[in-house]
Structure 1
Amino acid sequence: MLNVVEVKYPNGLQEAMERAGVSGSELARLVGTSRQNISRWAAGSRELLPAMAEQIAPYLDTTSASLLLLKSTEKFSVPLGGKIVGGGAIDVSTEQNEPGVEYEIELSVRVPDATVAYQVVGESMMPVYRPDTVIITRAHTQNIEPLVGKELAVATVEHGRMLKVVHRGSKPGHYDLESFNATTMRDVRLEWVARIAAIIPADEWRIIEKRAQTRDRLLKPSDRPRTRTQRS
């Protein structure tokens, strides 16, 4: 006779860990909890609460809704603010800025306090941020000091938008910007910072063109045919 183990609190944590190649001990270290807690959540013997699911999700390249096995048919849109990078500075001047056209990101889950979305570009973010991931941020602020030490979306005066851990610089009004796999940028001036509300994998969003009353689906940049200039 087979013993059937009842899963009291089913969730998607174990599957997400396997897909991301992250062990229980490594995930425990990243989120600041015990290996036993991770094991119990993954096994479904202890409830994975929404606040912890939101904390875990970025490290597994997924969403808290996916970890909690939440399904939603309601579409949720966030204005698209353009591109953002996580490593060294790259040119983001090729963004779509056609007069009279606005762009939105359409999601299948609602993100509380979502203000604007930025599309991750470039290869330097891997494995933390993969190309075509979308970062949903809360409101921009110039009150930077309370957020020192956190990973934020930032707009720099000289290097464009980036995803960085912000530290105090060597002089007032300047900040050191640390990334996962790029050299720390020293004494950078910032225009604004924004807290990250959610990290949305590439297959869980679509871009919407909003021209007057029309809404058309567009191809993500990585799916668009490359021009002869881009190939060279």
Structure 2
Amino acid sequence: MKGKFPNGLSEAMDAAGMGPTALERLTGIAKQDIYKRAHQMARLTPEMANILAPHLNTTAAQLLGLRAAEVFTVPLGGKIGAGGAIDTSTEQDEPGVEYEVEMMIRVEDAAVAYQVIGESMMPIFEPDTVIICRAHTQEISKHYGKRVALGTVEHGRQLKIIHPGSKPNVFDLESLNRSVPTMRDVKVEWVARIAAIIPADEWKILERRAQVQEFLKKPSQRRRSKAASD
């Protein structure tokens, strides 16, 4: 790749038979901006690469000219609430299918990723933010006063600050948003330290079925696509 702002966009567009006008229609990115990046006249940002990549049958890392080893994936454990109890019945859960999060940074000791739903912890945890967690542990007392991901018996997965409860084996779960009441005397099954917070535009979901990867849109993107088609 040659040019002031080298990237792999031009090659990917040629391989996909896709021009700036078609990409503008599919992504909403102005064709002039796509043209400038394809001709290496302006820097291709990770955000733009993430939007363009699915339509070019490639990855953001390849568009940005990063080595494959620099693409980092973590198993997706499902959704996690940023407020009260969450309903996980709508989670993607199909036999034989596993989901992973692909992102542009490497997180040491990453074990699992969770997709944040709800708006009660904005602006730190906006909807579709992903948190990368270290391994689950039942050594809960070591995490008192810390912001953690945790699994509860009755309220699903939560993002909370954990404190001792009024009696043994139950815990108080404090929200970062003071307007959300603290959950009192909750039974907790596991906790996990948060290793990284990935903004909504900096990751994508990969579906793995028989070694095949397919891009899946996030809820906010599905809403935008539906609105555009109505």
* TM more than 0.5: yes
* Matching residue's letter, 1:197: A
- Quote the offset at 1:87 in angstroms: 1.2
Q: Please give the alpha-carbon distance, in whole angstroms, between the structure 2 residues aligned to 1:126 and 1:221.
A: 17
Q: Please give the alpha-carbon distance, in whole angstroms, between the structure 2 residues aligned to 1:82 and 1:89.
A: 14
Give 4+ residue runs of structure 1 displaced > 3 Å after superposition: none
Give 1:78's match in structure 2, choosing from 56, 74, 79. 74
- Quote the offset at 1:125 in angstroms: 2.1
Q: Please give the alpha-carbon distance, in whole angstroms, between the structure 1 residues aligned to 2:159 and 2:211.
A: 33
1:92 aligns with 2:88: yes
- Quote the offset at 1:89 in angstroms: 1.5
On the 8 A contact 2:134/2:195 being kept in 1, the answer is yes
On the 8 A contact 1:128/1:180 being kept in 2, the answer is no
Q: Please give the alpha-carbon distance, in whole angstroms, between the structure 2 residues aligned to 1:203 and 1:188.
A: 33
Q: Please give the alpha-carbon distance, in whole angstroms, between the structure 1 residues aligned to 2:198 and 2:165.
A: 31
* Matching residue's letter, 2:95: P
Give 2:124's aligned residue. Answer: 128
* Matching residue's letter, 2:216: L
Q: Deviations over 1:109-128 (max 9, x none)?
A: 10000000000011222122
Q: Please give the alpha-carbon distance, in whole angstroms, between the structure 1 residues aligned to 2:118 and 2:66.
A: 30
1:101 aligns with 2:97: yes
- Quote the offset at 1:180 in angstroms: 1.5
1:160 aligns with 2:169: no
SS at match of 1:224: helix
* Matching residue's letter, 1:160: G
The alignment-based identity, stated in percent, is 67
SS at match of 2:73: strand
Q: Please give the alpha-carbon distance, in whole angstroms, between the structure 2 residues aligned to 1:215 and 1:72.
A: 19
Q: Please give the alpha-carbon distance, in whole angstroms, between the structure 1 residues aligned to 2:133 and 2:184.
A: 24
Give 2:220's aligned residue. Answer: 222
Q: Please give the alpha-carbon distance, in whole angstroms, between the structure 1 residues aligned to 2:142 and 2:164.
A: 11
Q: Please give the alpha-carbon distance, in whole angstroms, between the structure 2 residues aligned to 1:72 and 1:167.
A: 42
SS at match of 2:201: helix
Give 2:184's aligned residue. Answer: 186
5 Å-filtered alignment, 1:33-112, equals 73=67, 74-112=70-108
Deviates further, 71-80 or 193-202: 71-80
Q: Please give the alpha-carbon distance, in whole angstroms, between the structure 1 residues aligned to 2:154 and 2:171.
A: 13
- TM-score with structure 1 length normalisation? 0.65
Q: Deviations over 1:128-155 (max 9, x none)?
A: 2100100000000011011111110000
- TM-score with structure 2 length normalisation? 0.66
Segments of structure 2 that go 5 or more residues without pairing to the other structure are: 1-64
Give 2:59's aligned residue. Answer: none
- Quote the offset at 1:215 in angstroms: 0.7
The alignment covers a number of residue pairs equal to 158
Q: Please give the alpha-carbon distance, in whole angstroms, between the structure 1 residues aligned to 2:86 and 2:73.
A: 27
Q: Please give the alpha-carbon distance, in whole angstroms, between the structure 2 residues aligned to 1:86 and 1:123.
A: 7
5 Å-filtered alignment, 1:206-221, equals 206-221=204-219
Q: Please give the alpha-carbon distance, in whole angstroms, between the structure 2 residues aligned to 1:123 and 1:86.
A: 7
Give 1:197's match in structure 2, choosing from 195, 198, 212. 195
On the 8 A contact 1:102/1:210 being kept in 2, the answer is yes
1:148 aligns with 2:144: yes
On the 8 A contact 2:80/2:86 being kept in 1, the answer is no
Q: Deviations over 1:25-54 (max 9, x none)?
A: xxxxxxxxxxxxxxxxxxxxxxxxxxxxxx
